[in-house]
Amino acid sequence: MSEFRVNSITNQDGSTGPQVCGVSTFSGKSGIQIPSGSTDFRRLDGGGRGRGVIGGGYVAPANVRTIDVIEIVTSGNASDFGDLVQTANLIGSGAASATRGIFFGRFDSPATKDEIEYVTISSEGEAFDFGTMIQARAGASGLSDNTRGVIASGYPVTYQNGTNSMEFLTIATTGSSNDFGNLSFAGGYYPMCCASPTRGIIAGGRDSNAKNNVIDFITIQSKGNGIKFGELLTHEGGVGCSNSTRGIFAGGYNPSSITDIISFITISTFGNDTDFGDLTAVRRGLAGTNNPVRGTFAGGQTPTLVNTIDFITISTTGDAIDFGDLNSTKKNHAACSDAQGGLS
């Protein structure tokens, strides 16, 4: 068997240690053994990976189709990635595999749209057509494991009437989405979504008829209706992200004012959200994504539009810290990454 040895490894975040994919350590030896053909030197905890793509939204005075990109492990300003196929206010995302990011739905006056687009996260460039949703909608949110994306809620026609329907797609295969089931609550625009590798969380949503504070869960690989997980105690209509065990909800409203609240849940259990800390400023209409170590929250409205990106360490409660800036001030955009919670 061919092999080679290294005495130390420096991870992308500057730490050292033998946490390398495909690596076995062996007692009493000064080094690590890497199976022949293995070239993946990422940390097993995901701390050295995670590329976030942030697309669409509203940049005064118009809707845009620009996509920004950040390297989540390294704080700094966003860079240009490319463009979506369509201008996209109130676009949804949050569904991704380790290679492909999905964007869906939008509002283009006077109507909501049903298009689904995708990008190859590792390669800057333009988005491509993926297919269409069963139901046109704007302000929807998404979640995924490594193979299946789920599109949840949003509104089909107006803010006054959210939908509780969910759809799913196979991320690697272009085409139309399929029916998944219904939430246990009425839904609304921008529910806060997150996932572990098996369980998806859909929390709240907002329309002018109801400000929903219910948290539902689903099993991502099993079609069916949402089951009540708990309730949001402090805010709704913000954005979600997660590592493989902890879900994070940030920003939105509390209950009618824009808020800076961050809360969390343990995805594998049931219960209400718990206080985590605060964003650097109150915000709605922001986008969130993460790697297994860091969560990021980008842009939004305070009520003025901002380009601020915050970050948190998901496993440790506390206030958010400045990460950098988007390329423009915007709201109602969406984000996903190649290392988010459902992929861990």
Handedness of CA 175, 72, 190, 317 (dihedral sign): positive
Tell me, yes or no, if the pTM score tops 0.85.
yes
User: Are 81 and 201 in the same domain?
Assistant: yes
Copy the structure tokens of residue 276.
Answer: 């985590």
The residue behind tokens 């994306």 is: 149
Q: What is the number of domains present in the chain? A: 2
Query: For residue 252, which phi and psi values (nearest 5 degrees)?
Result: 100, -135
Domain that holds residue 279: 51-343
pLDDT, tens digit only, all 344 positions of the chain: 444 344 444 444 444 444 333 333 333 433 434 333 333 334 444 444 699 999 999 999 999 999 999 999 999 999 999 999 999 999 999 999 999 999 999 999 889 999 999 999 999 999 999 999 999 999 999 999 999 999 999 999 876 688 999 999 999 999 999 999 999 998 888 899 999 999 999 999 876 666 789 999 999 999 999 999 999 998 888 999 999 999 999 999 887 799 999 999 999 999 999 999 999 999 999 999 999 999 999 999 999 999 999 999 999 999 999 999 999 999 999 999 999 988 86
User: Are 39 and 81 in the same domain?
Assistant: no
What DSSP letter does each residue of 191-206 carry, written as one string?
Answer: -EEEE-SSEEEEEEEE
Copy the structure tokens of residue 128.
Answer: 């491509």
User: Are 135 and 18 in the same domain?
Assistant: no
User: Are 114 and 25 in the same domain?
Assistant: no
User: Are 150 and 242 in the same domain?
Assistant: yes
